[in-house]
Structure 1
């Protein structure tokens, strides 16, 4: 398993939402559809083997030593943040949060240190692959988390103005922490109505 293979694994999960973006990214990596299937098959075998290494060890095995390692506090929880660059998303890093006992409890794409976050002001700014979970939550507080439909998926309920300034309740869906799609649920009443 190489960093290229690992990126194919990430893409495989994103293909359910935007096969056209995944196709372009796969071609950018110089990989075939068979390469993507094989990388995913190997990753699943590594994950499900009775002799499987920990998730944290699997990420290090596939991606090598992290570009950065830092201590992080999330609420009352102390953990380590490991980050790796990925060629498909130069402005992002793949981050794994690791508990003191070595358990990887979160793995997703985050904005790279020093890279500017995209301007997120309206619903129209929430385009596929434009932002991370953290960026959407910060841009449109208060964000309410939703459980994802698969282990690598998550969601947020956001209140977002559209281009005309109408406030809308939106479900934003993410795979590996990267925005995949938004679905408008309701138009909300104006403040004071």
Structure 2
């Protein structure tokens, strides 16, 4: 019998995609969860099967223990089609102080937080369904950058 799909397995799904940009942080988190790479792949396989099944996901926002100040949010259209799914700051949880591009650290902020900190941020297409990018400008210097996100959580900053 297969174990229920719970918060641990869901976090492994999130980590699997983040490993492309932050393998060291993902390895630390995977060890914190006492999970093998095979368990991470299996969790992702099960998640993909669940989201493609009739009925899909029932919850619209739920906690993610690895990031206690964040929630995973699913925006659903009438009829159940998923418009967006990503990590957002939990209600009442303080966000990061993002004043300069140097304040951007992996896993430090969400798409919304970075966009508000560096106006006028311009959305860009990400390289995969779970990825987003923002074109931002460094305050003071005017240098262009691209902030990359996986599941809505900041991963890395590239020259623009």
| TM exceeding 0.5 | yes
CA distance in 2, matches of 1:92, 1:46: 22
Corresponding residue for residue 151 of structure 1: 129
Runs of 4+ in 1 over 6 A off after TM superposition: none
Structure 2 residues not aligned, in runs of 5+: none
Asked if residue 184 in structure 1 is aligned to residue 153 in structure 2, the reply is: no
User: Of the two, which has the highest radius of gyration?
Assistant: 1
Match of 1:168 among 119, 135, 143: 143
What's the secondary structure of 2:127's corresponding residue?
coil
Counting matched residue pairs gives: 156
Matches within 5 A, 1:77-92: 82-92=60-70
Pairwise CA distance, 1:131 = 0.2
In the other structure, the counterpart of 2:54 is 53
Secondary structure, counterpart of 1:142 in structure 2: coil
1:10-159 to structure 2, matched below 5 A, reads 10-48=14-52, 52-54=53-55, 57-58=56-57, 60=58, 66=59, 82-159=60-137
CA distance in 2, matches of 1:141, 1:92: 22
The separation in 2 between residues aligned to 1:160 and 1:98, in whole angstroms, is 34
Alignment pair present for 1:8 and 2:12? yes
Question: When the two structures are superposed, what TM-score results if normalisation uses the length of structure 2?
Answer: 0.92
Please identify which structure carries the higher strand content. Answer: 1
TM-score normalized by the length of structure 1: 0.77
Question: Secondary structure at 1:167's aligned position in 2?
Answer: coil
Greater Cα shift, 39-48 or 99-108: 39-48
| Alignment gaps of 5+ in structure 1 | 61-65, 67-81, 186-193
Higher relative contact order structure (alpha carbons within 8 Å, sequence separation ≥ 6): 2
